[in-house]
């Protein structure tokens, strides 16, 4: 029986993993489906990407054979159930309300009507079919035992049983194994999941904006207490707490630049592309006051700026050789993630308006080999509570040391760390940690021992703005800035390899220099972008740099609901991307027209010979607690508003009789000077993207 239990290890993994909440092609181990090399001999999953390789297919055959099912009809349905773990949607099929199961959720007419977009679910009584086929058939170590309805491992002692031995009736059986299926969940009908390709989300007619502030900010984070407040930060290192006006109020952002929430400029090195690049607030901030800042420091000027160089013997890189590639001093500049605390007692932290600039704890420090492409965004996962750190490839044209593909390097990666549990000294040595954090048990290194423990995904060039879909936390969407040809958007999954520098987007990339060696295309299974555009598509100069956004979930513009909004830093383009079909992870993008409402609280300066507002540089996107989306630009802060305010047609919009807000001429001609740091960022990014 020991061999049989080993075979079942695939299912026992389910017990350890926080499974995704809504449909997306993901396997039970949270990894993306893989491209098959050859065909599966046992399970009928051979088209496109699947969740089993040949070895796992063989394990499933052994598991099935060990059940010793003599009846052919029962044997067929049990085989289909066993093989469902190979389905590209298996993470969802094997999950009900985050509880792992020994079998997938079985479709059943007595449950709620399953999702209409699943053409595979023509037989919603599959659970009844299983009962009829197997109710009197003996199965060795049946996966349908009552103790396994929310568990993934079988008992150690071999037992023969029929469904009628285990369950009093079909109703009891289907109540246990069919679960509740709503319009956003999947159930198994005995066949591979297939989506209805006609079930698509039409793009909106246009995006209507209003301008609510003249300032230039790099980051926006909604206040964790769920209120109408948000934090805004600048590249030099200041964070402000602002009150956001109601939609249609005609009011502007309440933000006093002379009174920041916290000023970290003494700790932040500001120069060209350096500065404070990210901030994140703990989900229990209202009671613990913990927040985090991601910034750069200069070792030559700050004794506290000390950490290991990313170019080291672990990744076969010699810092003394870097000067021949880059004129900067190797590892003079560092990426830092540090923890801070709001001022006040535990009962007043939610309303705190100030924070201490004194660092509570240094979470992470790493010396940069070059002076560009170091990402810097940080955010907490809404489902798991872990901190995600976005790291670029370190800079220099073409990632010459191949850091992004090196599993021992943390450059060109997305890191996932636990900041709630501090490591022991033994942990730091054993896991070769870069700071004061622990490694989540289900990080990819738990399965891939070649992977540096803090890595969640790799093969990225310079991730610039990632977000989780607030309604589907399994959709972790990241924009990755390209080199010469292509800008991309990726859906990030556990252990995913996103191709750089073997690929730039979907295009093969040939590096000019490779002192760090090359990775062959045949040796990897890259996950290609779900969205993207070539540089030549958007302007004649060919310069481009993507800025990632959000899946729009506000009710303000119902025709944009469900679309992923993102933009380009230089070209002032805004795209709306919809899944086609829904829940597939496949997106179709539309280059959207956008206008400024005539009743905008602050008048919008327009692009010459156009109705479009002059956004200039798009730095970032933001989202508040009402899920309204904001665009942070060089010319100010803009918010997506009702389409009718720009005369865009939207049949879903509910028109009101409320008096429209009036424009404010007194605010309309105020042109705030952008923060010096952001102007430096603009210059640096333009230079780096054009000439590196």
Question: What pLDDT sits at residue 483?
Answer: 93
Question: What pLDDT sits at residue 585?
Answer: 86
> What's the chain's Rg over C-alpha atoms?
26
pLDDT per residue as tens digits for the range 15-33: 333 333 446 899 988 899 9
Q: Which residue has the tokens 């496949």?
A: 586
Question: What pLDDT sits at residue 194?
Answer: 81
d(CA 231, CA 221): 5
Measured between alpha carbons, how far apart are the two ends of the chain, in Å? 59
Dihedral sign, Cα of residue 572, residue 249, residue 622, residue 263: positive
Model confidence at 38, pLDDT cuts 50, 70, 90, reads: confident
Query: Is 594 in contact with 613 (CB distance < 8 Å)?
Result: yes
Does the pLDDT value for residue 657 go beyond 90?
Answer: no
Question: What pLDDT sits at residue 122?
Answer: 41
Considering only CA atoms, which of 537, 538, 539, 591 is closest in space to residue 563? Answer: 591
Does the pLDDT value for residue 212 go beyond 70?
Answer: yes
SS (H, E, C) 2-41: HHHHHHCHHHHHHHHCCCCCCCCCCCCCCCCCEECCCCCC
Question: What pLDDT sits at residue 415?
Answer: 98
pLDDT per residue as tens digits for the range 328-341: 678 999 999 999 99
d(CA 654, CA 556): 9
The residue ranking higher by pLDDT, 304 or 381, is: 381
Question: What pLDDT sits at residue 324?
Answer: 55
d(CA 632, CA 617): 9
In sequence order, the β-bridge partners of residue 639 are: 210, 630
Lowest mean pLDDT among 123-132, 292-301, 485-494: 123-132
The residue ranking higher by pLDDT, 209 or 113, is: 209
Does the pLDDT value for residue 627 go beyond 90?
Answer: yes
Dihedral sign, Cα of residue 261, residue 267, residue 270, residue 274: negative
Q: 254 is written with which tokens? A: 């309440």
Model confidence at 184, pLDDT cuts 50, 70, 90, reads: low
Does the pLDDT value for residue 68 go beyond 50?
Answer: yes
**Per-residue DSSP letters for 614-627?**
---SEEEEEE-TT-
pLDDT per residue as tens digits for the range 565-611: 999 988 889 999 999 888 888 899 999 999 999 999 999 988 877 77
Question: What pLDDT sits at residue 185?
Answer: 66
CA 607 to chain CA centroid, Å, is 33
Considering only CA atoms, which of 149, 55, 163, 63 is closest in space to residue 106? Answer: 149
Does the pLDDT value for residue 666 go beyond 50?
Answer: no
Query: Is 621 in contact with 566 (CB distance < 8 Å)?
Result: yes
Question: What pLDDT sits at residue 541?
Answer: 56
Question: What pLDDT sits at residue 656?
Answer: 65
Does the pLDDT value for residue 151 go beyond 60?
Answer: no
Does the pLDDT value for residue 317 go beyond 50?
Answer: yes
Does the pLDDT value for residue 114 go beyond 50?
Answer: no
d(CA 298, CA 681): 17
H or E stretch covering 551: strand 546-551
Percent of the chain clearing pLDDT 70 (strictly above): 83
Q: Indicate the length of the chain as a whole number.
A: 692
Question: What pLDDT sits at residue 233?
Answer: 98
Q: 328 is written with which tokens? A: 């900067």
Q: Which residue has the tokens 């996966």?
A: 143
Model confidence at 671, pLDDT cuts 50, 70, 90, reads: very low
Query: Is 614 in contact with 606 (CB distance < 8 Å)?
Result: yes
Considering only CA atoms, which of 326, 325, 331, 336 is closest in space to residue 300? Answer: 331
d(CA 475, CA 563): 12
d(CA 281, CA 290): 6
Query: Is 16 in contact with 99 (CB distance < 8 Å)?
Result: no
pLDDT per residue as tens digits for the range 449-503: 999 999 999 999 999 999 999 999 999 999 999 999 999 999 999 999 999 999 9
Considering only CA atoms, which of 385, 332, 335 is closest in space to residue 363? Answer: 335
- In this prediction, residues 553-558 reach a mean pLDDT of 96
Q: What is the mean pLDDT of the chain?
A: 86
Can you name the CATH fold of 207-691?
Answer: Neuraminidase (2.120.10)
The residue ranking higher by pLDDT, 101 or 527, is: 527
- In this prediction, residues 541-555 reach a mean pLDDT of 89
d(CA 454, CA 408): 10
The residue ranking higher by pLDDT, 197 or 299, is: 299
- In this prediction, residues 190-216 reach a mean pLDDT of 87
Considering only CA atoms, which of 349, 139, 255 is closest in space to residue 637? Answer: 255
Backbone angles phi, psi at 549, to 5 degrees: -130, -130
Does the pLDDT value for residue 680 go beyond 60?
Answer: no
Considering only CA atoms, which of 643, 605, 638, 604 is closest in space to residue 622? Answer: 638
Neighbouring residues of 617: CB distance < 8 A, sequence distance ≥ 6: 569, 570, 633, 634, 678, 682
Identify the burial level of 51 via C-beta atoms within 10 angstroms of its C-beta, where 0-12 means exposed, 13-18 middle and 19 or more buried: buried
Backbone angles phi, psi at 369, to 5 degrees: -70, -30
pLDDT per residue as tens digits for the range 260-279: 999 999 999 998 789 999 99
- In this prediction, residues 355-367 reach a mean pLDDT of 96
Q: Which residue has the tokens 């079998």?
A: 103
Q: What are the sequence ranges of the domains in the chain?
A: 2-177, 207-691
């Amino acid at each position: 029986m020991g061999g049989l239990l080993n075979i079942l290890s695939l299912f026992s993994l389910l017990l350890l993993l926080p499974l995704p909440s809504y449909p997306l092609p993901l396997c039970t181990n949270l990894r993306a489906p893989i491209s098959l090399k050859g065909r599966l001999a046992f399970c009928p999953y051979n088209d496109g990407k699947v969740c089993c390789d040949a070895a796992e297919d063989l394990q499933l055959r052994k598991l099935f054979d060990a059940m010793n099912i003599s009846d052919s009809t029962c044997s067929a349905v049990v085989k289909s159930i066993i093989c469902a773990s190979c389905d590209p949607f298996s993470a969802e099929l094997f999950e009900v309300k985050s509880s792992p199961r020994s079998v997938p959720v079985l479709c059943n007419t007595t449950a709620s009507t399953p999702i209409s977009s699943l053409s595979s679910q023509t037989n919603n009584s599959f659970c009844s079919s299983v009962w009829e086929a197997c109710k009197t058939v003996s199965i060795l170590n049946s996966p349908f035992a009552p103790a396994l309805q929310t568990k993934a491992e079988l008992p150690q002692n071999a037992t023969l049983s029929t469904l009628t031995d285990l369950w009093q009736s079909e109703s009891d059986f289907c109540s246990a194994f069919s679960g509740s299926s709503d319009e956003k969940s999947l159930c198994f009908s005995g066949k591979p999941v297939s989506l209805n390709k006609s079930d698509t989300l039409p793009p909106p007619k246009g995006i209507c904006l209003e301008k609510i502030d003249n300032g230039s900010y790099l980051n926006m984070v909604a206040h964790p207490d769920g209120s109408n407040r948000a934090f805004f930060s600048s590249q030099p290192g200041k964070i402000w707490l602002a009150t956001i006006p109601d939609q249609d109020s005609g009011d502007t952002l309440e933000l006093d630049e002379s009174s920041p929430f916290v000023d970290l400029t003494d700790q932040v090195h500001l120069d060209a592309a350096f500065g404070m690049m990210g901030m994140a607030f703990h989900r229990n901030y209202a009671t613990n006051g913990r927040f985090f800042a991601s910034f750069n420091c200069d070792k030559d000027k700050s004794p506290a700026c000390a950490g290991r160089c990313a170019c080291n013997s672990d990744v076969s890189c010699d810092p003394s050789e870097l000067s021949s590639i880059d004129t900067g001093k190797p590892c003079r500049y560092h990426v830092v993630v540090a923890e801070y605390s709001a001022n006040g007692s535990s009962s007043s932290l939610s309303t705190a308006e100030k924070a201490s600039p004194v660092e509570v704890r240094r979470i992470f420090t790493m010396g940069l080999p070059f002076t560009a492409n170091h990402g810097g965004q940080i955010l907490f996962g809404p489902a798991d509570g872990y901190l995600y750190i976005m790291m670029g490839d370190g800079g220099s044209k073409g990632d010459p040391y191949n850091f992004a593909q090196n599993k021992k390097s943390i450059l060109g990666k997305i890191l996932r760390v636990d900041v709630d549990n501090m490591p022991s000294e033994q942990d730091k040595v054993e896991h070769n940690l870069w700071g004061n954090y622990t490694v989540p048990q289900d990080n990819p290194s738990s399965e891939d021992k070649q992977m540096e423990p803090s890595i969640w995904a790799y093969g990225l060039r310079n991730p610039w703005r990632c977000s989780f879909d607030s309604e589907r936390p399994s959709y972790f969407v990241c924009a990755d800035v390209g080199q010469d040809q292509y800008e991309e958007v990726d859906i990030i999954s556990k252990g995913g390899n996103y191709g750089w520098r073997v690929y730039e987007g979907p295009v093969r990339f040939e590096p000019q220099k490779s002192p760090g060696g090359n990775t062959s295309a045949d040796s990897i299974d890259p996950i290609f972008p779900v969205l993207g555009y070539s540089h030549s598509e958007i302007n004649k100069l060919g310069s481009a740099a993507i800025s990632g956004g959000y899946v729009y979930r506000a009710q303000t513009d119902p025709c944009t609901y469900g679309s992923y909004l993102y933009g380009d830093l230089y070209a002032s383009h805004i795209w709306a991307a919809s899944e086609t079909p829904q829940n597939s992870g496949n997106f179709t993008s539309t280059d959207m027209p956008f206008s400024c409402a005539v009743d905008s609280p602050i008048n919008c300066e327009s692009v010459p010979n156009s109705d479009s507002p002059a956004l200039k540089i798009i730095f970032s996107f933001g989202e508040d607690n009402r899920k309204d989306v904001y665009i942070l630009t060089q010319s100010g802060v803009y918010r997506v508003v009702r389409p009718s305010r720009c005369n865009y047609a939207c049949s879903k919009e509910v028109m009101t009789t409320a008096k429209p807000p009036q424009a404010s001429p007194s605010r309309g001609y105020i042109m705030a000077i952008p923060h010096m740091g952001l102007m430096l960022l603009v210059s640096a990014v333009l230079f780096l993207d054009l000439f590196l």
